[in-house]
Amino acid sequence: MSDPATNRVPAHPVLVLDGIRKSYAGGAGGPVDVLDGASLALARGEVVALVAPSGAGKSTLLHIAGLLDAPDGGRVEIDGAEMTELGDDARTAVRRAQVGFVYQFHHLLPEFSAIENVMLPQLANGVTRRDARLRAVDLLARVGLDKRGHHRPAEMSGGEQQRVAFCRAMANAPHILLADEPTGNLDPATSDQVFGVLMDLVRETGLSALIATHNLELAGRMDRVLRLNAGRIATPPS
Query: What value does the mean pLDDT take over residues 112-129?
Result: 95
Given this model, what pLDDT does residue 112 score?
96
CATH number, domain of 83, equals 3.40.50.300
| Count of structural domains, the chain | 1
Provide the domain limits for residue 112: 4-234
Query: What value does the mean pLDDT take over residues 6-30?
Result: 75
Question: In the structure, what pLDDT confidence band is assigned to residue 213 with cuts at 50, 70 and 90?
Answer: confident
Given this model, what pLDDT does residue 125 score?
87
The answer on pLDDT for 4 being more than 60 is no
Given this model, what pLDDT does residue 143 score?
86
In this predicted model, what pLDDT tens digit does every residue of 33-65 receive, in sequence order?
789 899 999 998 899 999 987 777 888 999 999
Amino acid at 6: T
Q: How far is CA 209 from CA 5, 85, 158, 177, 212, in A?
A: 20, 24, 22, 5, 10
The answer on pLDDT for 26 being more than 70 is no
Q: How far is CA 57 from CA 17, 173, 209, in A?
A: 14, 27, 18
